[in-house]
Each structure stands twice: as structure tokens, then as C-alpha cells.
Structure 1
Amino acid sequence: LDACLAAVGQAAAPRRVRLLVSADGARAEAAPAEVGPRFPFDLDSVPRRVCLDLQPSVHSGDRLLGHKTLWRSAYDEARRRTLGEGTDMFDVVMYNERGEVTETSIANIAVEDEVGWRTPPLFCGLLPGVMRAHLLETTKVHEGVVTVDQLVAASAAGRRLLCFNSVRGAYLVALAVEPRLGLRPIG
């Protein structure tokens, strides 16, 4: 806690803080937070464009996915593979070996349904984000499997897609439908 307080100091503007814990101890890093005027719920702005990864991004049995770590190779590879250079896409939607949506490379995701917002359950292979937990407790966000085909169909039917994390808040995204290269199993 002292490391976090020292990193933030007397900053007048919002800051994002990363606490790094290892066998050598703890240290904190702070940087300006990219907080918009509608944080934490920016549901009125133009949706940010996202696209599907070109292949399964994660394996649902990977235990590291349940923890916030510096190991981000699956996320970074999905961005490199799918977004490439010069794209206008904001982020990439990731999915597992069963074709179940997990999250994006920087946020959890939910699909609007008949009773609120459906976000993938942890057993699909995703980070249990702080904002996700908060929304599950306090809003109409509930858990349920979302397949890639269901995500594409929901988007085509005009259902809203919501991304959220504790740094950026909650914001709408629009799925850019690109020809998929097929769902190939991984691992």
C-alpha cells in the first residue's frame, strides 16, 4: 500500500496504478489515467470498432488466465495477428478452443440479451476483472457462455456489445465482421 501511495503522490488528475509483486518485494508504477468525461459508464459515445481474432486465442484450461500477470503473450499475439499495422480497430475479441468468447485483449466483454448483459463465465478462460466482478454484483450483468457465432449473430441483430475494465470503465464496441479463417482447435 505504501508503494502505491508513493507512486501516486499528490497527483491532482486520475492515475492508473500497477502494483508488481515478486519474491523481491513490491513496487508500484503510476501513469495518467485515460479517463473520459463519462467514466465509468460511457454508453453514449460512438462504439469503438473491434474484430474477432483469426484463430482461438486461449485455452480454457490455462490457469494463468485467471490471474493478472505480466505474462500477456496470448493477448499480445492476438493483437499482432489480427490488428496488424495501420488498422482502425480498437481491440480484438478473443475466444477459446471451443469457440467460446472469452474477453478482448484489454477488457472483459458482455453481449446485450433479453435480461441484461451476458458476460462469459470464468471457466471459458478469462481474467476475472475487478470491474467485471463489480458489474456482476451491482448491475444486470450475468454470466453465460457466448459463442463466436452467437456474438456475430447478436451484433448483426443490432444487440449492443459492452467492454469494461477498471481503468477504462464501460464502453460500447461494434464488431467489424471480417471473413473468418475458421475455428481451428489449439493445444
Structure 2
Amino acid sequence: MTDFSLIETLRWQPGDGFIRLRLHLARLSRSARRLGFPQPIEAAAKLEDAVAGSAGPLRIRLTFDAQGRIEVTSAAFVPLAPETVWTARIAETRLDSSDRLLRHKTTRRAVYETARAEYAPDEADEVILLNERGEVCEGTITSVVLDDGTGMLRTPPISCGLLAGVLRTELICARKARVGRLTLADLDAGTLYIGNSLRGLIRANLVRS
């Protein structure tokens, strides 16, 4: 029996509705198909029900299990200021590039929680994980994006062992980013960004201890 659920975390804005809704639903459907879950045909309706009558920005979390059950929770959301810079650090914990479940957003998050626990909240806003080959993969809640000065952002391929993030997908589809393997040396030489669909792209300062 499957011991995990699929997750989508979305941002809802008054007047704009759900941000990147089409990409979120497409990812949920694709993951359900590849993992043998039923199709989440009621997901869009459940999301709309969750925000009915809301007046302020919301963080919406949808879970979908192998039996087809959908749960949606909401919480008030405060966007980051545009000039925000996060402190990022590198985890000792490693991802396994052969674990194909890492390509899907699920409730199985032990490896990310272990990596996050390596640093106190005041030491790092985000912690970046590498794989067994030392290639850069992703943050515990974000995709990694690098400005390497070529005019197009670069983000690791999912074959390195990482989630196909919705913001990452949007950047690639809009030809603002290309897929390419990254090393720590690359991060040191370029301008680092991390981000997700909820918070957008965030400038990051990588601290190497």
C-alpha cells in the first residue's frame, strides 16, 4: 500500500486567483499517472471551494492520496519584499539520483527535513542538497536557478534527483532558463537564485562553512 500522498502548494491572490494553476494541475495529473494513482478530477473544484469568500492572499496546500482522496487547507500568506535576499547553505545530507520519487512532490520528506535540521533557522533561510556525485540538485522547499552570465538562467535537470518544480517549469517553458548540470564551483562563480511557485524567485547568498 502506498504510504505517501501527492502535494501541491499554491498561492491565491484576490483578483488574480491561483498563480500558475494550470502548471500545478498538470504536474499533479502527471505524477498521479506515473505513480498509479487515480486522476485528480475534482482537484480544481476543491481548490475553488477552499478560497470562496477570501479577501486576502492565501497559501493553499492540496494533498491527494492513492485512494483518490483530496484534502485542501489554507492559511494567510504574506509575500516576501522584492529586495529580499535569503541565506543559503549546503547540506551534508545527499539525494540519490536513482530515486525517481524525488521527481514528484510528495509527503515523503524525511531527506529534506534531515537536511533542513542541519542548520538553525537563524543560520540559513534555505538549505541546498547535492546528489551522490556532488551535483547541485535543489533546496528543501525550492528549485535552484543560477545566473551564470550567459543571458539565460540555468537549473539542474531532474535526472540529477530533484523535483520538477512549477516555477522551474515556467522559467524553462518561457525560455528564461535552460537545463544544465551545476556544481558548487558554478554556484560560487554565478548569481544564485532559489524559488518556488508560492514565493517566486528569491536572490540567495550562498554561505560556505
Shorter-chain TM-score: which interval? 0.7 to 0.9
Q: Which runs of 5+ in 2 are unaligned?
A: 1-43
Q: Does 1:30 align with 2:67?
A: no
Residues 110, 162 of structure 1: 8 Å contact kept: yes
Q: Report SS of the residue matched to 1:149.
A: helix
Q: Report SS of the residue matched to 2:141.
A: coil
Q: Report SS of the residue matched to 1:20.
A: strand
Identify which of 89, 97, 120 aligns with 1:51: 89
Q: Please show how residues 137-152 of structure 1 align to structure 2 within 5 Å.
A: 137-151=173-187
What are the Cα deviations for residues 2-43 of structure 1, in whole angstroms up to 9, with x where unaligned? 321222221111112111112152121111223135xxxx3x
Counterpart of 1:177 in structure 2: which amino acid? R
The equivalent of 2:159 in structure 1 is 123
The equivalent of 1:183 in structure 2 is none
Q: Which runs of 5+ in 1 are unaligned?
A: 179-187
Counterpart of 2:195 in structure 1: which amino acid? F
- Runs of 4+ with deviation above 4 angstroms: none
Identify which of 145, 161, 166 aligns with 2:197: 166
Q: Does 1:176 align with 2:199?
A: no
Identify which of 108, 133, 146 aligns with 1:71: 108
Q: CA deviation at 1:46?
A: 4.4
The equivalent of 1:134 in structure 2 is 170
Larger deviation, residues 2-11 vs 161-170: 2-11
Counterpart of 2:75 in structure 1: which amino acid? A
Q: CA deviation at 1:52?
A: 0.6
The equivalent of 1:110 in structure 2 is 145
Q: Identity over aligned residues, as a percent?
A: 32
Q: CA deviation at 1:139?
A: 4.2
Q: State the TM-score, normalizing by the size of structure 1.
A: 0.81
Q: Report SS of the residue matched to 1:54.
A: strand
What are the Cα deviations for residues 79-126 of structure 1, in whole angstroms up to 9, with x where unaligned? 112x13x63310101110000000111100111112321100110011
The equivalent of 1:8 in structure 2 is 51
Provide the aligned C-alpha RMSD in A.
Answer: 1.6
In structure 2, distance between residues paired with 1:173 and 1:24: 38
In structure 1, distance between residues paired with 2:64 and 2:139: 25
Q: Report SS of the residue matched to 1:19.
A: strand
Residues 34, 168 of structure 1: 8 Å contact kept: no
